[in-house]
């Protein structure tokens, strides 16, 4: 299993940048020093002090099991049910959370956040080109063979290998409808790997475009190495060591 780095679940700290939340044409939250809070490792969220959230837009309070108060967010005719939680106990007592996906936009200072979740200041991405000989097999079928690729080392995540498309068996890949968003890399699109046996695996993805710091992997294909058989310079890799 991957080692989960600091910060741990339940940790929060002051962030010295103005954060505003836009919903229904109104700024429903405005904080000069919001809290960056980790309800789970690796994915922080902005939390607010009660005074930084406009009370006029919080309606229909109801108590949750743990004593927190849940509100609907209402601006004019626009309503998001259960979108706001005010914590009464635990590590986030006295803080307010607005569900990240509900607002129309989030702003850090005057810049609109491209991705819903803020970046983790304790996380780092390192991209390293490599000329090792990498072979990737799925159920005994070679799907990639390369000596020119990018290794991505991302805090708390498995090591990823991004391979040129020309070194991947594209005849075995079909585009999937699956996508995912990373605040560090951008939006990923996925492929299904269709083996001659008729078996299909959703093990591959790529970035058509990316954030500025991740440009080196645009157009390259990565696989879930920990689910496959991978050889590096002729040596089969231990799947548990990809972390």
Rounded Cα distance, 161 and 152, in Å: 6
Reported as a single tens digit per residue, the pLDDT across 40-94 is 888 899 999 999 999 999 999 999 878 899 999 999 999 999 999 999 999 999 9
Residue 243 has pLDDT above 80, yes or no: no
Region of residue 50 (left: phi > 0; alpha: psi -120 to 50; beta: else): alpha
Where would I find the beta strands (DSSP E) of 32-77?
Answer: 35-37, 45-49, 58-63, 69-75
Reported as a single tens digit per residue, the pLDDT across 204-233 is 999 999 888 899 999 999 999 989 999 999
What are residue 122's DSSP bridge partners?
Answer: none
Average pLDDT, the chain: 93
Topology annotation, domain 12-112: 2.170.150
So what's the pLDDT on residue 41?
A: 84
Contact 155, 5 (CB under 8 A): yes
18-22, 79-83, 121-125: least confidently modelled range: 121-125
So what's the pLDDT on residue 94?
A: 95
Reported as a single tens digit per residue, the pLDDT across 173-200 is 999 999 998 888 999 999 999 999 999 9
Topology annotation, domain 125-242: 2.170.150
Percent of the chain past pLDDT 90, that is, above it, reads 79
Return the structure tokens found at 161.
Answer: 């290998």
CATH 2.170.150.40 maps onto the chain at 12-112, 125-242
Residue 5 has pLDDT above 80, yes or no: no
Contact 221, 126 (CB under 8 A): no
How confident is residue 1, by pLDDT bands cut at 50, 70 and 90?
very low
Return the structure tokens found at 180.
Answer: 């995912």
């Amino acid at each position: 299993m991957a080692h989960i780095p600091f910060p741990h679940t339940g940790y929060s700290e002051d962030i010295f940048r103005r954060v505003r939340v836009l919903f229904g044409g109104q700024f429903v939250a405005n904080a000069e020093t919001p809290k960056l809070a980790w309800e789970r490792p690796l994915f922080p969220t902005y939390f607010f002090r009660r005074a930084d959230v406009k009370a006029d837009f919080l309606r229909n309070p109801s108590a949750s099991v743990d004593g927190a108060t849940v509100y609907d967010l209402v601006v004019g005719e626009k309503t998001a049910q259960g979108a706001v939680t005010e914590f009464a106990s635990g590590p986030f007592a006295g803080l307010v959370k607005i569900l990240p996906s509900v607002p129309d936009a989030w702003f850090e200072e005057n810049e609109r956040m491209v991705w819903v979740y803020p970046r983790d200041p304790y996380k780092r991405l390192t991209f390293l080109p490599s000329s090792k000989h990498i072979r990737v097999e799925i159920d005994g079928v070679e799907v990639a063979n390369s000596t020119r690729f990018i290794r991505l080392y991302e805090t708390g995540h498995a090591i990823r290998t991004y391979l040129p498309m020309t070194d991947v068996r594209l005849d075995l890949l079909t585009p999937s409808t699956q996508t995912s968003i990373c605040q560090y890399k951008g939006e990923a699109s996925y492929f299904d790997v269709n083996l001659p046996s008729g078996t299909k695996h959703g093990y591959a993805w790529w970035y058509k475009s990316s954030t500025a710091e991740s440009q080196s992997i645009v157009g390259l294909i990565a696989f879930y190495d920990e689910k496959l058989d991978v050889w590096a310079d002729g040596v089969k890799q231990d799947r548990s060591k990809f972390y």
